[in-house]
Structure 1
Amino acid sequence: MIDAMWIWGAIGLLLLAVEISTGTVYVLWFGISALCVALATWIFPNMPPAVQFAVFAALSIGSLAIWKLNYKKTETHSRVGQAQGEEIGRTGTVIESVNPNQNGKISFVQGLMGSREWVAVSNESIEVGSQAKVVAVEGNALRIIKI
C-alpha cells in the first residue's frame, strides 16, 4: 500500500503542473495545500484520512480566501507589449469622417500599436482630412478630438 504522504505529494505536484499550464493562480493554492498535507502525514504518519481531508480543505479554502482578499489587480486592461498610455496624445489624419452616430477611421504617419489605420470614435463631427488627437483607447477603437 502506498503511504498517504506519497499520494498527497503526487496530488500536490499534479495540481502545481496544472497551475503552470493554465497560469490562473487559483490552482496554486490547492497544490501547495496538498504538499502541506503530504508534509503533515510525513510528520504524523498515523493521521486519519478524515483529518487529512479536513486539513487539505481548510488550507485550500483559507489560502485562496486570503489571496483573493489581498490580491490587487494593478492594470484593468492589458495591452501586451505596449507601454500604457503610449498612444494618448498622438495626432493623425481622419481618412473616414466620424461623428457621434458613426465610427470613422484615422491614419497615422508612423504605426500606432502595430497599425497605421484605426477605427475612430468621437463625440463631435470630424471631416476627412482633418487632424485629430487621440484622447483614449476604447476597446479596438481610438477616441479622438479635432485639433
Structure 2
Amino acid sequence: MSYYIWLILGVLAFVIEMMLPTFFALFAGVGFISAALVAFWLPESLFWQLVIAAVFMIIGAVVFKKRGVGDDERDTVGTHNEFVGILGMAITPLSPHREGEIELYEPIVGTRRWPAITEEGDIDIQTEVRVVKLNGNTVVVEKTTLEG
C-alpha cells in the first residue's frame, strides 16, 4: 500500500482523536504513521506495513493503559459525571417515585429541560435543585441549601 494512504489514515485517526474524550484513535494514528514510514522505505512490503501498524497500536495501548492515561475519574467530559453539580429549577413537582421535570440554568447536550426524580423527599415547583447523578436519561436531584 502506498505511504500516502497510511498518512491519510493517520491524519484521520488524529482528527478523530481530537473529537473524542478517549485515547482510542491515538494508537491507531501512531500505528498508521509508523506504517507510512515503512511504506516509504519498503513500498512493496504490505505484510511489514501491516505488522508495524499493528505492533505500534498494541504497544501504544499497553503503555498508555499501564500508565493509567485517560483513567482520571475527575475528567468528566463525555461521562455521566458532567451533570453532577449543575443547578436548575423544578418546573413540576418531584419525588423519588414520581418523575417530574426540571429546567437547568445551563444547557447540557443542547437542552435545558430534563426529566428528574429526587433521591429522598418531595420537591415543589419553583424550588432550586442540584443534580446529584444521572440514571439513564433521568437526572436525580436534591434541593439546594442556602449558605449564609
TM-score (norm 1): 0.58
- Cα distance, 1:65–1:22 mapped onto 2, change above 3 Å: same
Q: How many residues in Structure 1 have an aligned counterpart in Structure 2?
A: 129
Within 2, Cα distance between the matches of 1:54 and 1:72? 26
Unaligned ranges ≥5, structure 1: 1-6
Please say which structure displays the higher CA radius of gyration: 1
Unaligned ranges ≥5, structure 2: 18-24
Secondary structure of 1:96's match?
Answer: coil
Matched, 1:104 2:105: no
Runs of 4+ residues deviating >4 angstroms: 47-57
Q: Please name the residue that 1:72 is paired with.
A: 70
- Cα distance, 1:37–1:143 mapped onto 2, change above 3 Å: same
Within 2, Cα distance between the matches of 1:96 and 1:20? 45
Given that residues 85 and 131 in structure 2 are in contact (C-alpha distance below 8 angstroms), is that contact kept between their aligned partners in structure 1? yes
Q: Please name the residue that 1:34 is paired with.
A: 35
Within 2, Cα distance between the matches of 1:12 and 1:39? 10
Within 1, Cα distance between the matches of 2:48 and 2:15? 30
Root mean square deviation, CA, Å: 3.8
Given that residues 104 and 120 in structure 1 are in contact (C-alpha distance below 8 angstroms), is that contact kept between their aligned partners in structure 2? yes
Deviation, structure 1 residue 134 = 0.5
Matched, 1:16 2:14: no
